[in-house]
Structure 1
């Protein structure tokens, strides 16, 4: 059995699929002052709507809602089905603490107690 879908209906279905993905996904990529909604996120890259995003390249920041979680070096790889795919050359997790140059032990005191003699 063969099913034929007119181009207008197919375009409407594709637009509804993209709208649902945008609503469901809170990820966004920021480059400079521009921000774009991520449609799909994989461990080696992400996709954006081809109509919204230019051919991005270079250093970008990925946010999950308001939380900055990755700083990435990206390159545009391919366009397929109205989505532009970007691959990571480097993806570095963002932390809220500065790096330390020593090993932290398992026991870390919450604070120091002064001796009664003041020393």
Structure 2
């Protein structure tokens, strides 16, 4: 039995794998109002389908569904097959609370109750 596949079958399989990754990925990167599905993410970068993504550079927002995960400064690293890899220069986790410039007392009351 031969393990050789014709070029068009190989290309079709690769395209189907990329399409499936795009469809099932909840992660996305957003820049200038455009959104791109993230195929893979690692500690210091991520990858996007090469046919979708331009050479991103600068500030991007990373979302998981509707949740804002982080804001990052990225640079296009390399094209690896059908994926474009990007590296973080800086990545800051998003927070739903404003930062404070003082230390909070862990035993402080959560609120005040009115006198009746």
Residue 19 of structure 2 aligns to a residue whose secondary structure is helix
Gaps of 5+ in 1: none
Q: 1:48 corresponds to which residue?
A: 48
State the TM-score, normalizing by the size of structure 1: 0.90
Distance in 1 of aligned mates of 2:9 and 2:114: 75
Does residue 88 (structure 1) correspond to residue 88 (structure 2)? The answer is yes
Distance in 2 of aligned mates of 1:21 and 1:34: 19
Q: 1:67 corresponds to which residue?
A: 67
Distance in 1 of aligned mates of 2:33 and 2:80: 26
State the TM-score, normalizing by the size of structure 2: 0.92
The Cα of 1:20 is off from its aligned counterpart by: 1.6
Distance in 2 of aligned mates of 1:6 and 1:107: 69
Larger Rg: 1
Q: How many residues align?
A: 116
Distance in 1 of aligned mates of 2:113 and 2:33: 48
CA RMSD of aligned residues (A): 1.6
Gaps of 5+ in 2: none
Distance in 1 of aligned mates of 2:115 and 2:51: 67
